[in-house]
C-alpha cells in the first residue's frame, strides 16, 4: 500500500457510516442511481430480483446503500431491511406520473398510469408509517427528468403529499440517473442532513 492509499484509508476510517435504504417501484431507476453514484457502467442493468448493496464515499461519510428490487412480488421483503436505517431514499419515475396528469387534463384518463402513481404514493405512505423507519430523513428522487414527459419535482411532491410530512426531514430532488444530473445534489443533502443529527 502506498503512502497516499494509507492516508486515504486512515481518513476514511474516521468517516461516519450510514445505512441507507433505496426503495421505489420497479423500473423507477433505483439500481441506475446506485450505479451512477458508484461511477459504474449503467448500460446493462436488469430488474433487481433480490437486492444490491454498495458503499459510496461522500465527504465525511461512508454510505452503505441497500437497493431492493421494487417488483410487486418483492415488495413484501422490503421490511426485512428496515432495521437500523439512517435514511430512506425513495425513487419515482417522474415520466410515469406526467402521462397520467396530461391525459387527465383532457379527460381521457389512462387508468394504468393513474394506478401506477397511486401505487407508488401508497407504498410511500405505508413506508412512512413503519415504526422501524420512524424519524428517518426522506430523500425523494424525482428521476427520469431527461424525458420530455417527466413531471417537475414540485408536481411530484404535490402528488405525493410531501408537504404534510411533519415528523421527519424530507427533500425532493429532481434528477436523471441517465445523465447523472441532480444525483450529486441528493448526496449533498444527505451529508448536510446527517451531519446535523
Residues binding Mg ion (CB under 5 A): 30-31, 48
Choose from Mg ion, ligand GTP, none: what does 194 bind? Cβ within 5-8 Å by kind: none
Residues 11-30 that bind ligand GTP (CB under 6 A): 24, 26-30
What is the spatial distance between Cα 114 and Cα 96, in angstroms, rounded to a whole number?
9
Could you tell me which stretch among 10-18, 45-53, 99-107, 157-165 binds ligand GTP (CB under 6 A)?
45-53
Residues 73-132 that bind ligand GTP (CB under 6 A): 91
Residue (31 or 145) nearer to Mg ion, CB: 31
Q: 80 labelled as ligand-binding?
A: no
Task: Give the count of beta carbons closer than 10 Å to the beta carbon of residue 193.
Answer: 18
Residue (2 or 50) nearer to Mg ion, CB: 50
Residue (48 or 94) nearer to Mg ion, CB: 48
Task: Give the count of beta carbons closer than 10 Å to the beta carbon of residue 128.
Answer: 18
What is the spatial distance between Cα 85 and Cα 156, in angstroms, rounded to a whole number?
24
Residue 103 contacts by C-beta under 8 Å, 6 or more apart in sequence?
A: 109, 110, 113
Task: Give the count of beta carbons closer than 10 Å to the beta carbon of residue 169.
Answer: 17
Is 173 an annotated catalytic residue?
no
CB of 52 to Mg ion, least distance (A): 7
Residue (12 or 71) nearer to ligand GTP, CB: 71
What is the spatial distance between Cα 185 and Cα 197, in angstroms, rounded to a whole number?
19
Q: How many residues does the chain have?
A: 197
Residue that is written with C-alpha cell 448500460 in the block:
43
What is the spatial distance between Cα 52 and Cα 42, in angstroms, rounded to a whole number?
14
CB of 71 to Mg ion, least distance (A): 9
| SS3 assignment for 89-121 | EEEEEHHHHHHHHHHHHCCCCCHHHHHHHHHHH
Q: Where in the sequence numbering do the catalytic residues fall?
A: 71
Which residues of the shown chain bind ligand GTP in the complex (CB under 6 A)?
24, 26-32, 45, 47-48, 69-71, 91, 143-144, 146-147, 176-178
Residue ranges for the known binding site are: 24-31, 48, 70, 143-146
User: Which residues are documented as binding site for GTP?
Assistant: 24-31, 70, 143-146
Amino acid at each position: 500500500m502506498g503512502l497516499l492509499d494509507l492516508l486515504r484509508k486512515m481518513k476514511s476510517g474516521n468517516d461516519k457510516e450510514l445505512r441507507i435504504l433505496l426503495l421505489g417501484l420497479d423500473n423507477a431507476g433505483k439500481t441506475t442511481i446506485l450505479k451512477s453514484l458508484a461511477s459504474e457502467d449503467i448500460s446493462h442493468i436488469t430488474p433487481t430480483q433480490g437486492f444490491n448493496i454498495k458503499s459510496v464515499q461522500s465527504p465525511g461519510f461512508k454510505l452503505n446503500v441497500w437497493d431492493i428490487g421494487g417488483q410487486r412480488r418483492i415488495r413484501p421483503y422490503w421490511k426485512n431491511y428496515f432495521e437500523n436505517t439512517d435514511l430512506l431514499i425513495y425513487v419515482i419515475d417522474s415520466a410515469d406520473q406526467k402521462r397520467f396528469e396530461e391525459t387527465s387534463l383532457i379527460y381521457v384518463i389512462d387508468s394504468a398510469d393513474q394506478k401506477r402513481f397511486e401505487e407508488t404514493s401508497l407504498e410511500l405512505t405505508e413506508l412512512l408509517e413503519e415504526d422501524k423507519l420512524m424519524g428517518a430523513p426522506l430523500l425523494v428522487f424525482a428521476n427520469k427528468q431527461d424525458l420530455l414527459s417527466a413531471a417537475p419535482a414540485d408536481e411530484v411532491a404535490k402528488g405525493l403529499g410531501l408537504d404534510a410530512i411533519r415528523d421527519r426531514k424530507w427533500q425532493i430532488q429532481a434528477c436523471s440517473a441517465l445523465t447523472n444530473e441532480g444525483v450529486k445534489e441528493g448526496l449533498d443533502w444527505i451529508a448536510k442532513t446527517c451531519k446535523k443529527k
